[in-house]
Structure 1
Amino acid sequence: MTRWIALLRGVNVNGITIRSADLAATFRTLGYADVRTVLASGNVVFTAPGDASVVKADVEQALRDRFGYDAWVVLLRHDDLAGIVEGFPFPSGPDRHDYVLFASEGAALDDLLADLALDDTVERVARGAGVVYWSCPKGSSTDTTFAKRAGAVRFKRTTTTRNTNTLRKLL
């Protein structure tokens, strides 16, 4: 049995509303154990047997069947998350938001960072193992250069972003 974290893309935004209780129940119907949702932004911690690709496919299909939307999930092992959070490379501060962008396909991260010109006095971006770390000023998480690139339609099915505070709650 493996402890997993499913990060759902696009939940409780753009008209896709899923209550946490319904989300947890969906994971339980798959036979998964120790199911816990965190916040209302599509974060699920659970235990399940099997290969990551099988678990991911099962979760995405269950979400499509139950909630009728084009579900895309980034799945990672719970044990890997602590290292990701600890690896955040930028200093935190009360005037900044710290994020980690996850991808279900490594090539998406390469595309995301390709030819990206940033003003590092405003925002900082660094590649990590299977993630991109991002720090930006509070209040600007939708209008910086990187925010606009990450929000592009071409990354919708392969990436999702979480604040480091949220990630700590998943541990």
Structure 2
Amino acid sequence: MTRFIALLRGVNVGGRTIKSAELAEAFRSLGYDAVKTVLASGNVVFEAEGVASDRRAEIERALSDAFGYDAKVHVLDTEALAAIAGAYPFAERDGWHRYVIFLIGAAADAPRPPDMDALVERITHLAVDHELESVADGGSVIYWTVERGHTLDSVVGKGIGSGKEKSLTTNRNLNTLEKLLR
């Protein structure tokens, strides 16, 4: 059995509410073991056979059926998540958030699909104010740090929060990722 992390996009924001108990039950109904939700932002830790890409399609179908929305989920094993968190390139700073923007379905050991490559190129080449935020290409993720209070109005915040590409990503604070690995 492999320990996986599922990061759901757009849960408990924008009017889409899924209770943790219902979310955990949806994962258990797929036959997954040791299911645990972490925080209320769509994070599920579970154990299953197979590889992350197989789990993703199955989970998206189940969530879409159970909750009536077009579910988007990024699934990775704990080893991959630990490597991503460990490679975070920006130093911790008081008064700043540390984010990882996950490219839904992108794997660390495979080339990015063209639409995701274009997204990463666009986001990492935005004219950011380095006094307010910094961004870096992490392969299957985008690393981002931003001064607290400016997440939504920063150049990167606006860049990932709008347009058709926003369905390609889900982001988490580095502190949340560390909780998921415990």
TM over 0.5: yes
Structure 1 residues not aligned, in runs of 5+: none
Alignment of 1:6-155 (within 5 A): 6-104=6-104, 105=106, 106=112, 107-114=115-122, 115-155=125-165
2:120 and 2:137 in contact (8 A); partners too = no
Q: Extract unaligned runs of 5+ from structure 2.
A: 107-111
Q: What CA deviation, in whole Å up to 9, does each residue of 1:136-168 have, x standing for no partner?
A: 000111000000001123223210000011111
Q: Is the 8 A contact 2:98 2:146 kept in 1?
A: yes
Q: 3-state DSSP class of the match of 2:99? A: strand
1:156 and 2:169 equivalent? no
Deviation per CA, 1:76-125: give whole Å up to 9, x if none: 11111111111111111121000000002434254243242212121100
List, as ranges, runs of 4+ consecutive aligned residues in structure 1 with deviation greater than 3 Å: none
Quick check: 2:120–2:142 contact (8 Å CA) kept in 1? no
Report the secondary structure of 1:133's partner residue. Answer: strand
| 1:112/1:149 contact within 8 Å kept | no
Output the CA distance in 2 between the equivalents of 1:45 and 1:17.
19
CA distance in 2, matches of 1:65, 1:36: 20
Q: Which amino acid counterpart does residue 121 of structure 2 have in structure 1?
A: L
Shift of the 109–119 alpha-carbon distance from structure 1 to 2, 3 Å rule, reads: farther
Q: Please give the alpha-carbon distance, in whole angstroms, between the structure 2 residues aligned to 1:140 and 1:21.
A: 32
TM-score by length of structure 1 reads 0.94
What's the Cα RMSD here? Answer: 1.3
Aligned partners of 2:53, 2:138: CA distance in 1, in Å?
21
**Secondary structure of residue in 2 paired with 1:140:** coil
Q: Secondary structure at the match of 2:46?
A: strand
Any idea what SS the aligned residue of 2:167 has? Answer: coil
Deviation at 1:129, TM superposition (A): 2.9
